Amino acid sequence: MSEQIGIDVNVLNLCAENDRKAQEIVYRKYFDSMIRMCQRYTTDQDELISIVNDGFLKVFKKIEQFERKGSFEGWIRRCVFTALSDYFKKKKEGIYFMDVPEAPSDSDNALEKMYFDDIVSHLQKLPDTSKNVFIKYCIEGYNHKEVGELLNMSEGNSKWHLHQAKKLLQSYIIREKEHSKSVKNG
């Protein structure tokens, strides 16, 4: 079972009992990958450390909720991503995790005004495979080779699904902006 979840079950049990040494083992094992994930959103080292530490605090407070199925690292990534989202919501800034190539210039304002929840609602509209690739690559910080391994596809297929996801998200954003304009003018 520990191979499936990615860490020794005894370490998880000790973390649930608030054992500091076990928590340090988890922290040290996953810290670098969580920093890399968060670097997509900020390069400010103080922000990065604060966000990742808040994420690990969530991990250790909620470790009992980890069902011990699937990837423990994936569960940690969700906790850290929640901390990242919370951080930017408190700052009242949008989270920009999309690189939308060749977006028409009038879509720039729509992107600036979108917050995490808006983007997540658009993400839910994507086809499952493209959505999963987008989340793994853009949110969780995996590279295309890792995404391919995780989702049982080629690296090239991962790139194609990411491109499709970005293209669809771009169209959703533009449609939302056009709809907002027509409601204001209507």
Domain-by-domain residue ranges, the chain?
2-90, 105-185
CA distance 83 to 153: 30
CATH class of domain segment(s) 105-185: mainly alpha
pLDDT of 105: 38
Contact 53, 77 (CB under 8 A): no
pLDDT tens digit sequence for 93-141? 544 443 333 333 344 444 444 445 566 678 888 999 998 898 888 776 6
Same fold, 2-90 and 105-185: no
Q: Which two tokens stand for residue 55?
A: 């994420």
pTM of the model: 0.52
**Architecture of the domain spanning 2-90:** Orthogonal Bundle (1.10)
Residues in the chain with pLDDT values less than 50? 1-3, 94-115
Answer yes or no: are the C-beta atoms of 29 and 95 closer than 8 Å: no
How much is the pLDDT for 177?
75
User: Which pLDDT does position 92 carry in this prediction?
Assistant: 58
